Amino acid sequence: MSEIALAADFAIIVVVATIIGLIARQTGQPTIIAYIITGIILGPVAFDIVTDEGLVELMGNLGFAFLLFLLGLKMRFEDIREILPAVTNVAIGQTVLQTALAFTVAWALGFGTEEILVIALATVFGATPIIVKILTDKDEITSLPGKIDVGVLIVQDIYLVVVLALFATDELGGAADIASTLGVILVMMSFIAIFSLFSSRYVLPGLFRRIADNKDVFLVVAIAWAFLFVAIAEATNLDPKVGAFLAGLSIAQLPYSKELEDRVTPITDFFILVFFATIGLQIDGLSSLLAHWWEAIVASTVLMVGNFWIMFYLIDREGFDVETSFLASINMVQVSEFSLIVGALAIEQGLIGSDVLGYLSLMALLTMGLSTYIISYNYAIYARLEPWFRRFESDERKDAEISTYDGHAIAIGYDEITERALPRLEAEFDDVVIIDRRTDHIEELEEEGRYEYVFGDFRHTEVRKEANLNAADFVLSSSVEREVNEALLREVDDEATVFVEAERIDDARALYDRGATYVIMSTHLAAEKVSEYVELYVTDRDRFDDAVASDVDVIEARRRRGRRRFGEDEPGSSPGVDGDPIGPSPDSLEDRRSGGEFRD
């Protein structure tokens, strides 16, 4: 096939997926469903105008690797630290029981032995991208049910990587071969995982601290890190995509992960588009897709109901209350898109035919499509069913306490303005969270250990979610960029107190109109100060001299404090050179004029 034809195939996939994706968005469906349907339409099932070879296959493999890299990047163990033992118990029990249920359903529907094993392994995973996306959009990702689901998905994803590595081996023979292959995979994964965790503690913090201020280099180094692990995995005869997952896992434990996640996601989404389209391309035709259509409907119904009750029983057994158990369970009822990945790898192994992949595709489309609405209306569903489920309630049950920001204060940017206000905010609020994307500021905050912080650009959704912006009672922004402050005012709670900064009168008026409590006009205040000093100079020279002397004392104190902060102790330095400059520094003015740490 010519290079032009390969490029045309790729272009057709992107254009069609974009159109179907827009339709999916209008109906509230996840774009992954649109990508799978794209492959079905363009492949042998419908028009048969694109094949999964050449450039399409290459981009699909890259999409798979980036998907697992992003999956690892989301696995922050700190997010579930408080409930980790309970979540581990739930996840292990869920994996065993749901695999047994899927095995029983496939056996009852008359599939062959190898097909049953593949189906049982493929249909046990939750749809991580879909669940995380919808819960994040609903601001439920930091709730207790959301944290339980994220924790279960983390354990599931580790199990998923092992299964994918197993199916990606060159050949699977009998039980003895499978056992030995699995042992090798676990040993190799353990070595790479140890290296990954070692790197996250001793190598990556210093590396990313040096380059995180440069956004372009930051992204390139992160992707290079992923490909390094891909190369290590390939060199050890392990599936390269497992290396991508472990690379993401190592970066996820750093304070820079949220910033990176936002920057990697658009690139990942592009490759994922092609990857899921290639799965639809592997179905031989409409007959293969619909060969087991009624079995897919039966299995989808049984598994969704069965998965809910398995999760509810396991979560309830850990002592969580009925509402938490219900919500965490109903969010996890779907058959994941990863079932299609396992199915595609099983086809390469010759374990199943295209008709079974069609069966798995129908199950994924049905359950993911339906569960999207179930998760969106989970609280409304619970409100209807609450009287019946209250019979499971017990006075002894008490939900775990989870750490999340609520009723807190947020400072956007760490500079002269916010720094002076922080002690007062600390005295008033239980938590003070600083959002900043300069590594030297983050280092200072780490050393001081006094305030919570989130590294990243305030414009990025993940960064705002991490600071739980819409639950804050007080927000102080030192950015003078009007768009940043308007976005802040749109998202923050209506009852919150918001202090923002502006350079121009028109900007200040617009921010007041949008609900700002107070707009700091530093240039206006400086003009007022100059006017006062001129008046003093003309009318009362002694008071003027006293005021100037007082200002010089303040400058000297700030200069000495600034030199201590940056480790400078050279004698004889003059103000404005080594310490804090007299007046705002050019860099500080430029930062605040363009949004500073919020600048792309």
User: Residue 458 and residue 484: Cα distance in Å, rounded?
Assistant: 8
Tokens of 566: 């940056």
> Is the pLDDT confidence value at 274 over 70?
yes
> Is the pLDDT confidence value at 527 over 60?
yes
Q: For residues 242, 245, 251 and 256, what is the CA-based torsion angle, rounded to 10 degrees?
A: 160
Tokens of 268: 């990942």
- Which has the closest alpha carbon to 235: 188, 198, 288? 188
Tokens of 367: 């359950």
> Is the pLDDT confidence value at 564 over 60?
no
Cβ neighbors of 309 (< 8 A, separation 6 or more) are 329
Classify each residue of 202-238 as buried b or exposed e, where b means 16 or more C-beta atoms within 10 Å of its C-beta: eebbeebbebbeebeebbebbbebbeebbebbeebeb
Rounded to 5, what percent of the chain is helix, strand, coil? Answer: 70, 5, 25
User: Residue 6 and residue 450: Cα distance in Å, rounded?
Assistant: 56
DSSP labels, 184-253? HHHHHHHHHHHHHHHHHHHTHHHHHHHHTTSHHHHHHHHHHHHHHHHHHHHHTTS-HHHHHHHHHHHHHT
User: Residue 525 and residue 164: Cα distance in Å, rounded?
Assistant: 62
Helix (H, G, I), strand (E, B) or coil at 433: strand
List pLDDT tens digits, range 244-258.
Answer: 888 887 888 777 777
User: Residue 432 and residue 425: Cα distance in Å, rounded?
Assistant: 7
What is the phi-psi region of residue 6: left when phi exceeds 0, alpha when psi lies from -120 to 50, beta otherwise? alpha
587: pLDDT confidence band, cut at 50, 70 and 90? very low
Under a CB-based contact definition with an 8 Å cutoff, are residues 500 and 516 in contact? yes
Instruction: State residue 396's pLDDT score.
Output: 58
> Is the pLDDT confidence value at 553 over 90?
no
560: pLDDT confidence band, cut at 50, 70 and 90? low
Under a CB-based contact definition with an 8 Å cutoff, are residues 172 and 181 in contact? yes
List pLDDT tens digits, range 353-368.
Answer: 888 888 988 888 888 8
List pLDDT tens digits, range 16-46.
Answer: 888 988 888 887 777 778 888 888 888 888 8
Under a CB-based contact definition with an 8 Å cutoff, are residues 547 and 536 in contact? yes
309: pLDDT confidence band, cut at 50, 70 and 90? very high
Residues 403-408 have a mean pLDDT of 75
Residue 374 burial (10 A CB sphere; 0-12, 13-18, 19+): middle
Residues 59-87 have a mean pLDDT of 74
Instruction: State residue 298's pLDDT score.
Output: 93
User: Residue 24 and residue 21: Cα distance in Å, rounded?
Assistant: 5
Instruction: State residue 83's pLDDT score.
Output: 72
User: Residue 133 and residue 265: Cα distance in Å, rounded?
Assistant: 12
Which amino acid type is present at position 159?
Y
Tokens of 222: 């992160």
User: Residue 446 and residue 581: Cα distance in Å, rounded?
Assistant: 25
User: Residue 350 and residue 173: Cα distance in Å, rounded?
Assistant: 11
> Is the pLDDT confidence value at 586 over 60?
no
Classify each residue of 100-132 as buried b or exposed e, where b means 16 or more C-beta atoms within 10 Å of its C-beta: ebbbebbeebebeeebbbbbbbbbbbbbbbbbb
State the first-to-last Cα distance of the chain, in angstroms, to the nearest integer.
41
List pLDDT tens digits, range 464-489.
Answer: 877 888 889 999 988 888 888 888 88
| Least trusted range by pLDDT, from 164-173, 268-277, 352-361, 587-596 | 587-596
User: Residue 301 and residue 360: Cα distance in Å, rounded?
Assistant: 13
Tokens of 154: 């983390």
570: pLDDT confidence band, cut at 50, 70 and 90? very low
- Total Cβ atoms within 10 A of residue 554: 11
Question: 434 has which bridge partners?
Answer: 411, 453
Under a CB-based contact definition with an 8 Å cutoff, are residues 518 and 499 in contact? yes
218: pLDDT confidence band, cut at 50, 70 and 90? confident
Q: Looking up tokens 């593949």, which residue turns up? A: 118
Mean pLDDT of the chain: 77
Cβ neighbors of 513 (< 8 A, separation 6 or more) are none
Instruction: State residue 305's pLDDT score.
Output: 92
Instruction: State residue 37's pLDDT score.
Output: 87
User: Residue 367 and residue 334: Cα distance in Å, rounded?
Assistant: 5
Instruction: State residue 299's pLDDT score.
Output: 92
Residues 116-137 have a mean pLDDT of 77
* Helix and strand numbers, DSSP H then E, in the chain: 26, 6
Cβ neighbors of 366 (< 8 A, separation 6 or more) are 296, 297, 300
Q: Which residue would you say has higher pLDDT here, 524 or 89?
A: 89
562: pLDDT confidence band, cut at 50, 70 and 90? low
Helix (H, G, I), strand (E, B) or coil at 126: coil
DSSP labels, 131-185? HHHHHHHTT-TTSHHHHHHHHHHHHHHHHHHHHHHHHTSS---SHHHHHHHHHHH
What is the phi-psi region of residue 410: left when phi exceeds 0, alpha when psi lies from -120 to 50, beta otherwise? beta
Q: For residues 26, 27, 31 and 35, what is the CA-based torsion angle, rounded to 10 degrees?
A: -100
Calculate ∠ Cα 560-561-565, nearest 5°: 120
User: Residue 233 and residue 244: Cα distance in Å, rounded?
Assistant: 9
Over pLDDT 70: what percentage of the chain? 80
List pLDDT tens digits, range 158-198.
Answer: 777 777 777 766 565 556 666 766 777 677 767 777 777 77
- Which has the closest alpha carbon to 56: 276, 269, 289, 244? 276
> Is the pLDDT confidence value at 107 over 90?
yes
Residues 581-593 have a mean pLDDT of 41
Cβ neighbors of 58 (< 8 A, separation 6 or more) are none
Instruction: State residue 82's pLDDT score.
Output: 66
